Amino acid sequence: MRFIYWIVLTILIIFSSCETDFELNAPYKTTPIVYGLLDQSLDTQFIKINKSFLGNTNNADFAPINDCTQFDYLIAVLEERDQNNFLIGTDTLREIMVGNLDEGIFYEDSQKIYFLETSNNSLNDENTYKLNVDVPHKNLNFSAETELVNGAGLMFDFYTKITLQLNGFRCADNDLATLDDYLNPSIVWNTTLNGKRYELILRVHFMEHTFSGDTITKFIEWDLGDKTSISTNGSEEMTKIISGKSFFDMVDSKLKNYNQEQEVEKRTFSSDAIEIILTAGSEDLNTYMQVNEPVTNVVTERPIFTNVENGIGLFGSKYSKKLISSMSDGTVLELCKGQITSQYKFCCDSTEQIITISNLTGGVNVGCN
């Protein structure tokens, strides 16, 4: 009997230890994912509406398959309500396939997005907008709501505007002998109602002339960082001081690894070479960005933020304004002849500015001849 007992026990142990199959994934449930920012400074609004996906193998293998992330059919309606929550009107979004996408784990040839044309200022600063989405064949309904960032209240400071208009963008003086003497211009603006995070971008526009005779319009973009306001009530003054030396270092960093530099004969710029773009984002956008900023401490877990009802993602708003400016004589001189950027063949084709710089410097020629 003892012998039979041990045989039975051994068989039970063997069979129970071999039972290792189990499901790694919970039962699949379709989760809507929405990303969209309304911006009344634009004539078209774009919203990305996707769904979650789940596979029995590596999920990275399923991400490049469009059918895994896109709904076959849905109805997306943007609803507009006034301050008394009275329904003003509705607009149905249309779908479009877009290409020219950045490389990544998802399908790169084209992706489906939803859009709404809003020309003639059809979005009202004072109203609230709600996105309602219905996926009939999935029996799914989800929604999200946002106020608009008030565009009329987002303003550059008057002194900032008049200084750029009269003097141009000044990052250097007119004396090449003082190599370390850079100027640090400041950009001042006032916050606006419903705006929480403010981002400043600087673009340097130029024309690239090649030895083959082509002229290509290009720009270099410099992210000057962002600031967060105390509240969303507006009328707070904000200032960004731009390092003059960092401006030329930025140009150097953007162009030094250009693999077609040997084909460039010269680079010229017009009187509106500098574009300063100020963008205000809503409080929900600010919260979403804060939650998803890189982890800087030992706690790697981060909360999930969403303002989409019955889904996940972000539906918020932003608004952009820009200032256009020339470059000051000193900045042009430093860009063309300075120690940091002189190798990039920048030259001036404005006769008036060429003569002015020559007179100020005792004969230094920044012209293209």
Tokens of 225: 């960082």
Q: Which of 334, 325, 326, 359 is nearest to 173 (CA)?
A: 334
Cα of 229 vs its chain's centroid, Å: 19
> Would you call 311 exposed, middle or buried from its count of C-beta atoms within 10 A (0-12, 13-18, 19+)?
buried
The Cα–Cα gap between 274 and 280 comes to: 20
Three-state DSSP at 357 gives: helix
The Cα–Cα gap between 25 and 47 comes to: 30
End-to-end CA distance of the chain: 109
Type of residue at 53 = F
Q: Report pLDDT for 344.
A: 96
Tokens of 217: 């319009």
Contact 79, 71 (CB under 8 A): no
335-349 burial, b if ≥16 CB within 10 A, otherwise e? bbbbebbeebbbbbb
Q: Which of 99, 135, 134, 97 is nearest to 113 (CA)?
A: 97
52-78 burial, b if ≥16 CB within 10 A, otherwise e? ebeeeeeeeebbeeeebbbbeebebeb
> Would you call 316 exposed, middle or buried from its count of C-beta atoms within 10 A (0-12, 13-18, 19+)?
buried
For the chain, domain boundaries: 32-147, 155-282+318-361
Calculate the CA dihedral of residues 53, 58, 61, 62 and round it to 10 degrees.
-10
Tokens of 228: 């967060």
Residue-level pLDDT, tens digit, the chain, 369 residues: 554 444 444 444 444 444 444 454 556 678 999 999 999 999 999 999 998 766 555 555 555 566 677 898 999 999 999 999 999 999 999 999 887 656 655 555 678 899 999 987 689 999 999 999 999 988 999 999 999 999 999 999 999 999 999 999 999 988 775 656 799 999 999 999 999 999 999 999 999 999 999 999 999 999 999 999 999 999 999 999 999 999 999 999 999 999 999 999 999 999 999 999 999 999 999 999 998 877 666 666 677 899 999 999 999 999 999 999 999 999 999 999 999 999 999 999 999 999 999 998 889 999 997
Residues 6+ apart with CB under 8 A from 70: 50, 51, 111, 112
CATH assignment of 155-282+318-361, among 3.10.450, 2.60.40, 1.10.3470, 3.90.320: 2.60.40
The Cα–Cα gap between 138 and 73 comes to: 10
- For 155, 226, 289, the CA distances from 198, given in Å and listed in that order, are 12, 5, 12
Q: What is the DSSP letter of 203?
A: E
User: DSSP for 53-108?
Assistant: ---SS-GGGTTT-HHHHS-S--EEEEEEE-TT--EEEEEE-EEEEE--PPPSSS--
Q: Which of 40, 30, 49 is nearest to 132 (CA)?
A: 49
The CATH fold assigned to 32-147 is: Immunoglobulin-like (2.60.40)
